[in-house]
Amino acid sequence: MKSICADLVLQRMSPENGAPREAGTALNRQLYDCLRGAILDASLPPSSPLPASRDLAREIGVSRNTVLHAYEQLSAEGYVHSRVGSGTFVAATTPESFLSVGRTAAEVDVANGDVRLSRRAQALLANASAAPLQWGAFMPGVPDVTQFPHRQFSRILTRLWRNPAPALLTYSHGGGHPALRAAIAEHLRVARSVRCEPDQILVTEGVHQAVDLTLRMLVDPRDTVWVEEPGYWGFHKVLQMGSTVVRPMRVEAVDSVDGGLPRGRTPPRLIFTTPSHQYPLGSVMSLARRRELLDIARASEGWVVEDDYDSEFRFAGRPIPSMQGLEADAPVIYIGTFSKTLFPGLRVGYMVLPRALAAPFRTAHADLYREGHAITQAALAELIEQGHYAAHIRRMRVLYARRRALLVALIVQHLGTDFLDAQSSNAGLHLVLRLPDECDDVAIADAARARGVLTRPLSRYYLRGGGRRGLLLGYACVEEADIEPALRVLIGCLKEFITFNDPIGPI
């Protein structure tokens, strides 16, 4: 007569029950899976005895070693225990029970979706901006990742992985891989007129981490911070999670009496700005305004945070030099990223810090975020040193210029020049499609997304609501052949909300 355990195993492993012995899977593993499943669903109750290994092997027709291996694995994972001279028994409590037994009322609320969040978290989630889809027409801020020099990068990485030094596989400390910091410093001196040495470079996991670190290091609760209006939503979100007083600098009011600067006597501790290619409108900050902000920062013993996110891609005229390099020892924290020049998933950004801030920022960065990715940073350094990075930027500059010109021509052809912003510079990875002030650009963006076209509403970039209406159209990640079809879909959405004449005719 077979034991209950043997009957369970044979039943669960029989073809009639949809669980045949699978080719390529060891018998001891299949037996382990059967016994573990029976223990978890209480077919083998807690504290019940299992047959002796020799007996179970004979009953189910396998070798004794197969049973011994399965029993040993179950014992190692805590599903069974053995008593010398007594046999093997199902454990009174399974490992999974520790994941659910004794949950507090708060944990039950979390599981039911009824959880108490901080007011800051509630405000963040109520207007979350990170898009679930990040690829396709016309997603702004995303480069053409298919053009990344993956063969060269893969070759470098493969060589480094063959015999990696232990220092590349442990926690890092010092602001990033030395070779990458040296390569970034050299690139910025040549391409962006940044005044820096490698010891002023701090490698971060993107711009958001750089901003978060800057706030933690330089801003106390209730300090005042200035941000551009409209401005990058990422700045807004990180600031929203702090206790700062955020004051908008109105970019479109630069020619007004107050120059668009915040009123009041409280000086800014930080001034966030995108001077070389304003995000999202695309304008270039004048030399006079740059010097004015530097003077304000010095007078208030504060700092300008210069986000130079995509200035490598300028398609006409001379490159716009960085604000950081405008003056020696300028009170500027320069932030850059490889997300726009290479690919966002790389998650490598960098800061150029004034000398007085470099050492404390490096120490704080290591303590707060635990540096890593050293082997990726070493490979990226070689990619730059071997000239592949500069060559990639040159190729992409030509490609993006061609895509931008095609999109602009199609917009003019279908919609007219009134839908383009004359102040936008011929640069970057996106342009702004201007819309009438009375329209709902959020609803238009939602309608376009439902039809497979991705865009962002301009009104969402204003801190206090209102503001101009428009759509951010990213052209970098769209093949030329796909630009016109995607634009036609978008125009079809526009016609549901706006009345205008399309000289091309019905979509």
Buried b (16+ CB within 10 A) or exposed e, 94-110: beeeeeeeeeeeeeeee
For residue 18, pLDDT over 80 is answered with no
H helices of 370-440, in order, are 374-385, 388-414
Number of helical (H) and strand (E) elements in the chain, helices listed first:
16, 13
User: pLDDT value at position 500?
Assistant: 67
pLDDT at 506: 47
Q: Report the distance separating Cα 435 and Cα 451, nearest Å.
A: 19
CA distance 286 to 310: 18
Which residue do the tokens 């969040």 mark? 117
Both tokens of residue 333?
């924290």
Mapping DSSP to helix (H, G, I), strand (E, B) and coil, where does residue 498 land? coil
The pLDDT assigned to 120 comes to 76
Nearest to 235, CA basis, from 201, 207, 216: 207
Range with the lowest mean pLDDT among 93-97, 267-271, 412-416, 485-489? 93-97
The mean pLDDT value for 434-458 works out to 93
Spatial distance between the Cα atoms of 41 and 173, rounded to a whole number of angstroms: 48
Q: Average pLDDT for residues 301-323, to the nearest whole number?
A: 89
CA count, 13 A, side-chain hemisphere, 238: 19
Render pLDDT for 220-242 as a digit per residue (tens, 0 to 9): 988 999 999 999 888 888 888 87
Kindly tell me if the per-residue pLDDT of 17 is higher than 60.
Answer: no
pLDDT of residue 427: 87
* Residue 22 scores a pLDDT above 80: no
Task: Indicate yes or no: pTM above 0.85.
Answer: no
User: What is the separation of C-alpha 356 from the centre of its chain, rounded to a whole number of angstroms?
Assistant: 29
pLDDT(263) > 90: no
Looking at the chain, the whole-number percentage of residues with pLDDT higher than 70 is: 91
Q: Is the pLDDT of residue 20 over 90?
A: no
If you average pLDDT over residues 479-505, what whole number do you get? 86
Name the least confident of 269-278, 295-304, 421-430: 421-430
pLDDT at 302 over 90: yes
Q: What token pair was written down for 120? A: 């800051």
Span 304-313, pLDDT tens digits: 999 998 888 9
**CATH-assigned architecture of domain 4-97:** Orthogonal Bundle (1.10)
Range of lowest pLDDT (44-48, 174-178, 431-435, 441-445)? 44-48
| Ranges 96-100, 191-195, 341-345: which has the least confidence | 96-100
Q: Are 28 and 35 in contact (CB under 8 A)?
A: no
pLDDT given for residue 411 in this prediction: 94
- What per-residue confidence (pLDDT) applies to 101? 44
Q: Going by CATH, does the domain composed of 125-131+162-386 fall within 3.90.400.10? A: no
Predicted local confidence at residue 96, as pLDDT: 56
Average pLDDT for 320-337: 94
What distance in Å separates the CA atoms of residue 224 and residue 245, rounded to the nearest whole number?
A: 5
| pLDDT bracket for residue 104 (50, 70, 90) | very low
What whole-number percentage of the chain has pLDDT above 90? Answer: 55
The mean predicted confidence, pLDDT, of the chain is 87
Contact 230, 462 (CB under 8 A): yes
CA distances to 170, 400, 422 from 330, rounded to whole Å, are 35, 32, 31
Q: Decide which of 20 and 380 is more confident.
A: 380
- Supply 203's token pair: 């490698």
- What is the reported pLDDT for 403? 96
Closest CA to 235 of 271, 267, 263: 271
Band of pLDDT at residue 256, cut at 50, 70 and 90: confident
- With a CB cutoff of 8 Å and minimum separation 6, the contacts of 269 are 218, 219, 220, 223, 224, 225, 244, 300, 302, 303
Give every CB contact of residue 37 below 8 A, 6+ residues apart in sequence. Answer: 12, 43
Domain range annotation of the chain: 4-97, 125-131+162-386
Top-confidence residue, 150 or 102: 150
Report whether pLDDT(431) > 80: yes
- Cβ neighbour number for residue 149 with a 10 Å cutoff: 16
Q: Considering only 206-220, 245-259, 278-292, which range has the smallest mean pLDDT? A: 245-259
SS (H, E, C) 253-299: HCCCCCCCCCCCCCCCCEEEECCCCCCCCCCCCCHHHHHHHHHHHHH
With tokens 């070693």, the residue in question is 65
Closest CA to 478 of 434, 444, 430, 423: 430
| 6 SS3 class | helix
Q: According to the model, what pLDDT value does residue 24 have? A: 58
Tokens standing for 105?
A: 């009322």
Q: Which helix (H) or strand (E) holds 223?
A: none
**Banded model confidence at residue 161, pLDDT cuts 50, 70, 90:** very high
Place of tokens 């109105």: 250
